[in-house]
């Protein structure tokens, strides 16, 4: 019956993770998968999560179905978090949200409803983007194109190219944008550049789908919301997928949200009902426990502050590792220009390492990075960053 099925090659990043786990060298370094590792190389349990999880677990009781859209408290708290509380009060009646299965689930729910009601629109993702963007939108039946984004000569954003490509898109095109901590490059837009993008989105009547998986890893929770906030303030209708996998270190709980900002309360009602219809036909309703953890933390002023502090600690540690990697490489290969390590933000950096150089790092040094040259900065630690800097300098210089 199934013999005609081709084999799925698997996700290259997850395969790399398997290869890393199987690596016998004790001083191996994991710069592959996009999961935040702490200074001991472990996925942390956040203090705020550790404080509420046992309390919630001790008080579980029966587990009824959640509403299709998930917990109302969670949805409201998340919307307030991503919009900021003043803006939330102002635009709340035209804003809707559903509790999703991670950021990926939010993207899928969103693109299913878009395919139904914007059947002729094309989707555009940055070149490059998180590979699952293309996979998810194609699975929903969209044709996925790209807009210029990364400039390999500067290791920054090709902003003129990006703007020109946005300007050439047909009206009602769906544009996937990373508000902060671009995956895979770490190259983000400045605020002025976002303002220019917003003008084009409004002028060309484009539909932005913002994907926020790392809020707080660039500059701060509120600061990283700039693109979302500015678009809402400009009166643009949008979809926003939110992932808490990294920022709460709750990968397996699958926590996220799909937020929609529309023109008025009537549109909002329609939009929410279609999100619900999409969920009903996908997985019917979301799981309970992870969302309870997050809602409990966000609803309590002290726990929320502690969580924001923890996000700040993760961010600061990654910035320090960027500094140390940069300094270590400059000391060993002064002629290399690696200043982009300092301007790129969030968990990832596109290093410019070629696939052959990445392979040398793996084979000769036990350092695992993605073939594209993407590194996950959180895999760097005080006790390995000098060795990584030396190995990078060696393979880039040869």
> Which positions are catalytic?
130, 211, 246
User: Rule CB under 6 A: which of 270-309 touch ligand PLP?
Assistant: none
Verify binding: residue 183, ligand PLP, rule CB under 6 A. yes
- Which neighbouring-strand residues pair with 29? 367
User: Rule CB under 6 A: which of 7-66 touch ligand PLP?
Assistant: 34
Is the distance from CB of 150 to CB of 128 less than 8 angstroms? yes
CB of 130 or CB of 150, closer to ligand PLP? 130
**Residue 330 CB, nearest distance to ligand TYF (Å)?**
27
**Residue 247 CB, nearest distance to ligand TYF (Å)?**
13
Peptide bond into 53 cis (omega under 30): no
CB of 130 or CB of 350, closer to ligand PLP? 130
Verify binding: residue 247, ligand PLP, rule CB under 6 A. no
Verify binding: residue 130, ligand PLP, rule CB under 6 A. yes
Cα–Cα distances in angstroms (integers) from residue 363 to residues 73, 357, 384, in the given order: 49, 10, 17
- Scanning 10-18, 49-57, 59-67, 194-202 for contacts with ligand TYF by CB under 6 A, the matching segment is 10-18
**Partner from ligand PLP, ligand TYF, none contacting 229, C-beta within 5 to 8 A by type:** none
Verify binding: residue 33, ligand TYF, rule CB under 6 A. yes
Binding mask 104-133 for ligand TYF (x = CB under 6 A): --------------------------x---
CB of 15 or CB of 337, closer to ligand PLP? 15
**Residue 131 CB, nearest distance to ligand TYF (Å)?**
8
CB of 357 or CB of 372, closer to ligand PLP? 372
**Partner from ligand PLP, ligand TYF, none contacting 243, C-beta within 5 to 8 A by type:** ligand PLP
CB of 16 or CB of 393, closer to ligand PLP? 16
**Residue 221 CB, nearest distance to ligand TYF (Å)?**
20
User: Rule CB under 6 A: which of 204-243 touch ligand TYF?
Assistant: none
Binding residue for ligand TYF (CB under 6 A) from 99, 100, 134, 183?
183
Verify binding: residue 256, ligand PLP, rule CB under 6 A. yes
Verify binding: residue 126, ligand PLP, rule CB under 6 A. no
Verify binding: residue 13, ligand TYF, rule CB under 6 A. yes
Beta strands 238-243 and 150-151 are unpaired
| Residue 12 Cα to chain centre, angstroms | 18
Verify binding: residue 383, ligand TYF, rule CB under 6 A. no
- Scanning 79-87, 100-108, 197-205, 310-318 for contacts with ligand PLP by CB under 6 A, the matching segment is 100-108
Give the CB-nearest residue to ligand TYF: 34
Q: What are phi and psi of 35, to 5 degrees?
A: -135, 135
Q: Which of 77, 36, 59, 69 is nearest to 248 (CA)?
A: 36
Residues binding ligand PLP: what is the number (CB under 6 A)? 12
Binding site for ligand PLP (CB under 6 A): 34, 102-104, 130, 178, 183, 211, 213, 243, 245, 256
Binding site for ligand TYF (CB under 6 A): 11, 13-14, 33-34, 130, 183
């Amino acid at each position: 019956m199934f013999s005609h099925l081709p084999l799925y090659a698997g996700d290259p990043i997850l395969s790399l993770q398997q290869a890393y786990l199987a690596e016998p060298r004790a001083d191996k370094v994991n710069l592959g998968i996009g999961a935040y590792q702490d200074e001991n190389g472990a996925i942390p349990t956040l203090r705020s999560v550790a404080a509420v999880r046992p309390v919630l677990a001790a008080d579980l009781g029966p587990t009824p179905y959640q509403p299709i859209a998930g917990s109302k408290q969670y949805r409201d708290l998340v919307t307030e978090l991503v919009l900021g509380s003043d803006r939330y009060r102002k635009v709340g009646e035209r804003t809707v949200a559903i509790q999703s299965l991670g950021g990926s689930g939010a993207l899928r729910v969103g693109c299913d409803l878009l395919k139904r009601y914007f059947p002729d629109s094309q989707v555009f993702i940055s070149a490059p983007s998180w590979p699952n963007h293309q996979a998810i939108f194609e699975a929903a039946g969209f044709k996925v194109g790209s807009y210029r984004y990364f400039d390999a000569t500067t290791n920054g954003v090709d902003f003129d190219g990006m703007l020109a490509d946005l300007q050439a898109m047909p009206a009602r095109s769906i544009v996937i944008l990373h508000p902060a901590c671009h995956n895979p490059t770490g190259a983000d837009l400045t605020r002025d550049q976002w303002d220019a993008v917003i003008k084009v989105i409004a002028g060309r009547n484009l539909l932005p789908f913002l994907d926020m998986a790392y809020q707080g890893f660039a500059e701060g929770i509120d600061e990283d919301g700039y693109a979302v906030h500015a678009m809402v303030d400009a009166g643009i209708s949008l979809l926003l997928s939110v992932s808490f996998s990294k920022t709460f270190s709750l990968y397996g709980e699958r926590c996220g949200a799909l937020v929609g900002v529309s023109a008025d309360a009537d549109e909002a009602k329609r939009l929410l009902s279609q999100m619900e219809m999409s969920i009903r036909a996908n997985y019917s309703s979301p799981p309970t426990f992870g969302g309870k953890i997050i809602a409990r933390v966000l609803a309590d002023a002290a726990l929320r502050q502690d969580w924001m502090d923890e996000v700040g600690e993760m961010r600061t540690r990654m910035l320090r590792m960027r500094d140390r990697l940069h300094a270590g490489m400059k000391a060993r290969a002064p002629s290399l220009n690696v200043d982009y390590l300092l301007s790129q933000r969030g968990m990832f950096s596109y290093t410019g390492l070629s696939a052959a150089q990445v392979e040398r790092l793996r084979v000769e040094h036990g350092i695992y990075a993605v073939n594209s040259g993407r590194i996950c900065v959180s895999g760097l630690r005080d006790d390995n960053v000098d060795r990584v800097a030396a190995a990078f300098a060696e393979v880039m210089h040869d």
